């Protein structure tokens, strides 16, 4: 059985790094992600202690940027945060507005409503119930929750109905509880008391988002067996729902030997001619699931796509362009992304423009097993989340 090596979860790793930093613990995080985003998070947390009043440059790392904004609003000092041109265009306004409600002093340095910003930290003291627009990113709420055990008067968040990636918020809550903070969620309200973390030695599980490219590979070949280590049925990761989604396309998932065994099983394929996937809770599996659906012989619709516009690239646009290049029958109808097999055969060389988006690069790289005329314009961008992707892809 082929082994497909995936990195550890950067979503969990980045949250653990914030929790460990706040706890001032020396305990180890084992199997921490080696992805660029996590390396950047570690570097910037070290920079807080070694280079106060410096500029924290976050490149195009949304999680790092948003988590750091709240952390520096909590910590005394004068801080500046910036990012590259893509990060400057990604949403941060709802998070900054709420932090200001809680007493933070944050100012835009150049243009209103985008990076760079200046934070005068150490002023989060107000106790109140807050509302935050999380229709664009769940990271706003996760960012607030991670620091909330250190707000002296606690924090209450009232969730609005339209929340993207709610399972990522649940992941944050679970990790906060795991390390001793007092947090309670009832219906649409989250309450956190002042309760500093007690960090302990921990092991990070491997990344379900990256595992999706193994599922994609089996969907394309319609056969084979793959083993992935360190994945579990009770995962905190929202993208573990991939096992249910991909089962409708014929991929069987069995948990064995501290990991998963994946195999193609045509008996599992849904009898429905048309499928619909809601990717609101798990937007990162969208690129791999779209390519897989292309080879399914079914019409497949994807709803809950709004947040895809605000990822490392506009993933709706990026996927649409790439799919049209390889001859896919793809369309947008209202708030749905629809794919229905191929409309033409393309024989000429194709260069997929990734817009420096790691997941676009990886999804089309797997597609190149069937389309050897595909070239990826920036192969190195995969290091953002999956440094060993090319090794795993061709093993």
Radius of gyration of the chain (CA): 21
Tally of CB atoms within 10 A around 122: 16
Domains 9-203 and 208-393 share a fold: yes
Residue 127: pLDDT above 70? Answer: no
pLDDT digit string (tens) for 174-224?
999 999 999 999 888 999 999 999 999 999 999 999 999 999 999 999 999
Q: Which two tokens stand for residue 105?
A: 């002093």
Q: Is the CATH number 3.65.10.10 carried by domain 208-393?
A: yes
Lowest mean pLDDT, pick from 118-127, 181-190, 217-226, 288-297 = 118-127
**Which of 31-40, 44-53, 298-307, 327-336 shows the lowest per-residue confidence on average (mean pLDDT)?**
44-53
Catalytic positions are 284
**Predicted local confidence at residue 136, as pLDDT:** 75
pLDDT value at 111 more than 90: no
Nearest residue to 164 (alpha-carbon basis) of 312, 11, 307 = 307
Domain boundaries, the chain: 9-203, 208-393
Look-up of token digits 């109808």: 333
Q: Which of 121-130, 166-175, 226-235, 254-263 has the lowest mean pLDDT?
A: 121-130
pLDDT-based confidence at residue 98 (cuts at 50, 70, 90): very high
Question: For position 29, what pLDDT does the model report?
Answer: 98
The predicted structure's pLDDT at residue 260:
98
E strand map for the chain: 2-3, 29-30, 55-57, 77-82, 105-108, 117-121, 129-131, 155-158, 183-186, 189-192, 202-203, 225-229, 251-256, 259-264, 274-278, 299-303, 328-333, 336-342, 350-352, 374-376
Q: Provide mean pLDDT across the span 380-390.
A: 96
Q: What is the pLDDT of residue 53?
A: 63
| Confidence class for position 92, pLDDT limits 50, 70, 90 | very high
What does pLDDT average to over the chain?
94
Per-residue pLDDT, averaged over 258-283, amounts to 96
pTM of the predicted protein model:
0.94
**pLDDT (tens digit, 9 = 90+) per residue, 336-364?**
999 999 999 888 999 999 999 999 999 99
Write down the pLDDT at residue 63: 95
CA distance 213 to 98: 37
One CATH from 3.65.10.10, 3.40.1640.10, 3.40.50.2300, 3.30.950.10 for 9-203: 3.65.10.10
Q: What is the pLDDT of residue 395?
A: 78
Contacts of 137 (CB under 8 A, 6+ apart): 62, 66, 91, 164, 165, 307, 310
Query: Does residue 78 have a pLDDT over 70?
Result: yes
pLDDT at 369: 94
And the tokens for 226? 């793959």
The pLDDT of 57-65, averaged and rounded, is 95
Checking if the pLDDT of 52 tops 70, the result is no
> Looking at 100-114, 123-137, 291-305, which range is the least confident one?
123-137
């Amino acid at each position: 059985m082929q082994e497909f090596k995936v990195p550890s979860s950067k979503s969990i790793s980045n949250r653990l790094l914030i929790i460990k930093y706040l706890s001032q613990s020396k305990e180890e995080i084992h199997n921490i992600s080696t992805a660029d985003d996590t390396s950047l998070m570690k570097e910037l947390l070290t920079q807080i202690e070694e280079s106060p009043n410096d500029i924290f440059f976050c490149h195009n790392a949304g999680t790092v940027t948003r988590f750091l904004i709240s952390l520096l609003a909590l910590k005394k000092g004068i801080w500046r945060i910036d990012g590259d041109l893509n990060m400057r265009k990604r949403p941060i306004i709802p998070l900054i507005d709420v932090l200001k409600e809680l007493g933070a002093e944050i100012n835009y340095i150049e243009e209103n409503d985008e990076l760079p910003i200046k934070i005068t930290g150490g002023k989060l003291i107000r106790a109140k119930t807050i509302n935050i627009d999380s229709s664009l990113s769940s990271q706003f709420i996760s960012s607030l929750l991670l620091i909330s055990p250190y707000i002296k008067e606690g924090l209450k968040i009232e969730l609005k109905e339209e929340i993207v990636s709610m399972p990522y918020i649940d992941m944050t809550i679970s990790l906060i509880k795991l390390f001793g903070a007092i947090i309670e969620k009832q219906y649409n309200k989250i309450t956190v008391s002042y309760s500093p973390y007690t960090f302990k030695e921990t092991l990070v599980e491997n990344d379900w988002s990256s595992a999706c490219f193994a599922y994609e590979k089996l969907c394309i070949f319609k056969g084979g067996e793959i083993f992935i280590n360190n994945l579990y049925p009770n995962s905190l990761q929202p993208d573990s729902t991939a096992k249910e989604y991909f089962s409708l396309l014929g991929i069987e998932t069995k948990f064995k030997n501290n990991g998963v065994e994946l195999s193609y099983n045509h008996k599992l394929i849904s009898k429905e001619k048309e499928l619909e996937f809601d990717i609101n809770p798990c937007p990162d599996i969208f690129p791999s699931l779209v390519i897989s659906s292309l080879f399914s012989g079914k019409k497949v619709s994807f709803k809950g796509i709004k947040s895809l516009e605000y990822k490392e690239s506009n993933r709706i646009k990026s996927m649409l362009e790439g799919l049209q290049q390889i001859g896919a029958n793809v369309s947008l109808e209202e708030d749905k992304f629809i794919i229905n097999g191929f409309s033409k055969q393309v024989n000429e060389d194709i260069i997929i423009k990734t817009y420096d988006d790691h997941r676009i690069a990886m999804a089309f790289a797997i597609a190149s097993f069937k389309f050897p005329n595909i070239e990826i314009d920036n192969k190195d961008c995969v290091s953002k989340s999956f440094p060993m992707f090319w090794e795993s892809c061709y093993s």
